[in-house]
Structure 1
């Protein structure tokens, strides 16, 4: 197999949770262009339909499943539907997640007055929204003795990012879960089962544009702090995650396991000096 062939996802069945999210759209395009068969899993039916249309327009094969990652029964139904259509699952991307406003501490808010219930919801969504699909779809890959799982971590899983309490706790859990599951799966089921994580930097999207930029297009104070802490001196574009995503799913990364890859323009590496 040539090195180019090792990067191919042609014919591989990839489950993408959070497919209806901001990063999900970019991931769907990357998977389709790489030749994968894509199971689009998300809660928003309208967006899921849009993603499926995108897959079809790129000449790839896909299916749409409206489901909630926090409901195990919903994930089990999704698994059966995917197996009924394609008979196998080769990869899983746990992209469902995001911040919850009530789990964010305002700049002038007493940190001890934070809404604990909202913090729990943030942990549940980002951490258990990763664990539950991994247990459901990972079981299929374990039985096959092969597969690649990618979790989505964060800059906040390496460094303390102010204000985002629940998100920080959850993403640290995701990194821990990645290492644990990577070790256990390999030890129990062999060296063709891998679990890794991608930790995105701060990406400018339509969803967060009003939070990161002012009406005149300049950065907000918080966005400027991220830019100042990044050697590239800019925010990222979601498409800049796609190369790492395809690599970790492909045979080209066959000996990469239990790692968290930071795609952040050097933010995590730099001391600021």
Structure 2
């Protein structure tokens, strides 16, 4: 599904250098949307910009830390000047850090001894890294919504899509900080949807299941096939495979389509190959 009325609209996509959001940005550009690619690392954004421009689309790359209000405001001013007022916001920036992830699934006495840096239980995690994961995922969604949403509220029109997770619905082992953040994204999506409804701004979230990127490949795959964690995921995924980034596009296109989804707001939509439907039993 695509919209007939997207040509020359402006979209801001945070985390646009990543596997999932770069695909979203490319799809938006193919439909005639002028796309602002936002991320901390321009080197990740520029190849996406070049791909869009080579296909005849319009895109600019803007470096910004989405958890920093001033930097996001500066990015918004640049985008507004070069492309126009943003009508679509995809909040995809976020991620995890290895030092905030446990290497075990349940408590072991060894974690009370901090001597082994490679062994991480809850009690010997780096709390600053733990807090950083929560900060970038939560405030990295709140702040862009706060900054870009103001113009949407003035024009009484807009669409915000947040990127949630399976962690938004249930806790997953090892990733407590990321889980806290993504559960918060689901709650914030619903709160913001209700709050902005009088301004005719729809707010929804897409919750991807397990999709591979360069970081997750190292955790979930081995030269022989799946790692133990990858195998566990497959056992709980009825479709028995990882998702492809292009498989998020249909949902995105539906949510930004004012004709097809004009009465849809406050939803968190899983795209997960059946993961949430399967207890594994």
Q: TM-score with structure 1 length normalisation? A: 0.92
Answer yes or no: is the 8 Å Cα contact 1:20–1:43 preserved in 2.
no
Could you list the per-position Cα deviations for residues 100-147 of structure 1 after superposition, in whole angstroms to 9, with x for gaps in the alignment?
Answer: 112111116432332222111110010000001110001110111000
Could you list the per-position Cα deviations for residues 221-251 of structure 1 after superposition, in whole angstroms to 9, with x for gaps in the alignment?
Answer: 1011111101111111111111111221222
Answer yes or no: is the 8 Å Cα contact 2:2–2:253 preserved in 1.
no
Answer yes or no: is the 8 Å Cα contact 1:22–1:207 preserved in 2.
no
- Hey, what does 1:114 align to over in structure 2? 125
Residue 205 of structure 1, aligned match among 199, 207, 213: 213
Could you list the per-position Cα deviations for residues 32-90 of structure 1 after superposition, in whole angstroms to 9, with x for gaps in the alignment?
Answer: 22221100111111222111101112211111111110111111111111111233211
| Cα distance in 2 between the residues matched to 1:5 and 1:208 | 30
Taking only aligned residues, the RMSD between alpha carbons, in angstroms, comes to 1.6
| Cα distance in 2 between the residues matched to 1:23 and 1:6 | 20
Residue 16 of structure 1, aligned match among 13, 18, 41: 13
Answer yes or no: is the 8 Å Cα contact 2:10–2:84 preserved in 1.
no
The alignment partner of 1:97 has SS state of coil
- Hey, what does 2:94 align to over in structure 1? 97
Could you list the per-position Cα deviations for residues 9-53 of structure 1 after superposition, in whole angstroms to 9, with x for gaps in the alignment?
Answer: 322210001111222221222112222110011111122211110
The alignment partner of 2:12 has SS state of strand
Deviation at 1:8, TM superposition (A): 5.1
Q: Which range is displaced more, 92-101 or 240-249?
A: 240-249
Question: Which ranges of structure 1 fall in alignment gaps of 5 or more residues?
Answer: none
The alignment partner of 2:59 has SS state of strand
1:85 aligns with 2:82: yes
Residue 237 of structure 2, aligned match among 212, 224, 230: 230
Q: How many residue pairs align between the two structures? A: 266
1:47 aligns with 2:47: no
| Cα distance in 2 between the residues matched to 1:38 and 1:262 | 25
Question: Which ranges of structure 2 fall in alignment gaps of 5 or more residues?
Answer: 109-119
Matches within 5 A, 1:139-218: 139-187=150-198, 189=199, 192-216=200-224, 218=225
Residue 263 of structure 2, aligned match among 255, 262, 267: 255
| Cα distance in 2 between the residues matched to 1:40 and 1:73 | 17
| Cα distance in 1 between the residues matched to 2:230 and 2:80 | 43
Residue 36 of structure 1, aligned match among 20, 33, 36: 33
The alignment partner of 2:151 has SS state of helix
- Hey, what does 2:115 align to over in structure 1? none
| Cα distance in 1 between the residues matched to 2:31 and 2:2 | 11
- Hey, what does 2:116 align to over in structure 1? none
Answer yes or no: is the 8 Å Cα contact 2:94–2:137 preserved in 1.
yes
| Cα distance in 1 between the residues matched to 2:101 and 2:38 | 27
Q: TM-score with structure 2 length normalisation? A: 0.90
1:240 aligns with 2:247: yes
- Hey, what does 2:112 align to over in structure 1? none
- Hey, what does 2:66 align to over in structure 1? 69
